[in-house]
């Protein structure tokens, strides 16, 4: 019988799909956009960002949430229309390129992380609790995503993987 061997190290998750969904365009996909939008108004989410990652936990020997030492999501705010709080949540499953508001993935609101976006620039967000949750629900290989939502009537555009340069979102974690 073969047993998985835990391997310590740092890993960079491979981005599968990045997109956003828009309540005002409920059937439209934005997976080819250079800017990913998260916005809210009056306490209602209007646009949400979804970042889908290829799951390599099992092949990296990560089978239990407690093996994750830290995880960081890095992204670039490229268009801050209204500053405010951006929250991150884990999604059980992949985000498809055709995702739209009317058929967007549901995120798990039991665990979240947040960052206050004040101006254009690079940001990093401690998503350790989210990646631990992703390991818990997806250790055996299911895909997972991270959803970014805006609070406080914020409206922030982030560089996508389609944007020029190395400004696209990235996820790193250590076990």
Query: pLDDT, tens digit, for every residue of 149-167?
Result: 999 899 999 999 988 776 7
Whether residue 102 has pLDDT greater than 50: yes
Q: How far apart are CA 76 and CA 79, in angstroms?
A: 9
Per-residue confidence band for 96, with pLDDT thresholds at 50, 70 and 90: very high
- Beta-carbon count within 10 A of 147 CB: 26
SS3 10: strand
Query: pLDDT, tens digit, for every residue of 48-92?
Result: 999 999 999 998 999 999 999 999 999 999 999 999 999 999 999
Whether residue 4 has pLDDT greater than 60: no
What are the angstrom distances between the C-alpha of 29 and each of 19, 21, 130?
8, 7, 25
| Per-residue confidence (pLDDT) for residue 7, from 0 to 100 | 60
Contacts of 76 (CB under 8 A, 6+ apart): 120, 121, 122, 123, 158, 159, 167, 168
What is the mean pLDDT of the segment spanning 20-36? 96
Whether residue 28 has pLDDT greater than 90: yes
| Per-residue confidence (pLDDT) for residue 153, from 0 to 100 | 94
Looking at every residue in the chain, the average pLDDT score rounds to: 92
| Per-residue confidence (pLDDT) for residue 149, from 0 to 100 | 98
* Helical ranges in 56-175 per DSSP H: 128-138
| Per-residue confidence (pLDDT) for residue 2, from 0 to 100 | 42
Q: What are the structural domains of the chain?
A: 15-174 (2.60.120)
| Per-residue confidence (pLDDT) for residue 141, from 0 to 100 | 79
Q: How far apart are CA 95 and CA 84, in angstroms?
A: 25
| Structure tokens belonging to residue 63 | 């089978």
Q: How far apart are CA 84 and CA 86, in angstroms?
A: 7
Q: How far apart are CA 162 and CA 14, in angstroms?
A: 14
């Amino acid at each position: 019988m073969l047993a998985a061997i835990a391997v310590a190290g740092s890993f960079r998750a491979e981005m599968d799909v990045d997109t956003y969904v828009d309540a005002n365009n409920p059937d439209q996909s934005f997976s080819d956009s250079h800017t990913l939008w998260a916005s809210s108004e009056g306490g209602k989410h209007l646009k949400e960002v979804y970042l889908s990652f290829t799951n390599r936990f099992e092949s990296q020997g990560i089978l239990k949430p407690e093996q994750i030492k830290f995880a960081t999501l890095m992204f670039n705010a490229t268009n801050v229309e209204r500053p405010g709080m951006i929250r991150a949540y884990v999604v059980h499953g992949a985000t498809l390129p055709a995702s739209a508001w009317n058929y967007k993935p549901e995120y798990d609101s039991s665990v979240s992380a947040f960052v206050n976006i004040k101006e254009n620039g690079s940001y990093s967000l401690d998503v350790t609790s989210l990646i631990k949750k992703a390991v818990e629900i997806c250790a055996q290989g299911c895909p997972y995503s991270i959803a970014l939502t805006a609070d406080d009537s914020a409206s922030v555009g982030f560089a996508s993987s389609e944007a020029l340069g190395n400004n696209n979102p990235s996820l790193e974690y250590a076990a």
